[in-house]
Amino acid sequence: MFITSETLLKVRYSETDQMGVVYHGNYAQYLELARIDWLSRLGISYKSMEENGVMLPVFTLDFKFKKSAFFDDELIVKTSLRKIPTAKITFDFEIFNKNNELLTTASTTLVFVDSKTRKPIPCPSYLLEKIKNY
């Protein structure tokens, strides 16, 4: 694994069910926040990528839920780049609570796509440069 970052999140009431447990569908949003934070820590704005014609749609998304997260929990999302990106980029995630208990593991693969043609493109050179110089 390459570059790893940690993103802190707090579970909001609206993200839980009647039992106070985080609804599983909200985990995809947690990963998205962590990916954007990962890029930001490299000095890359996802908004700027999109403005420059690069989109990153999700190709695969995989979760393994080990323990529940609850309303008001403080979560740590560890995001790791699995390998140097090509036309796609793969991240591995671990989500912990404040007691350092592993709650969830996940991975996601996204594809670099030209926003006009909607066709896959190679990873932008500026992102590869940041990764290689990290």
Q: What is the amino acid identity at position 26? A: N
> Which residue, among 66, 63, 75, 67, has the nearest Cα to 11 in the 3D structure?
75
Tell me, letter by letter, the H, E, C secondary structure of 3-62: CEEEEEEECCHHHECCCCEECHHHHHHHHHHHHHHHHHHCCCCHHHHHHCCEECCEEEEE
Longest dimension (CA), the chain: 47
Q: What is the DSSP letter of 112?
A: -
Residues comprising the chain, all counted: 134
Query: Given 17, 62, 72, 114, which residue is catalytic?
Result: 17
- Whether 72 sits among the annotated catalytic residues: the reply is no
Contacts of 47 (CB under 8 A, 6+ apart): none
Active site residues: 17
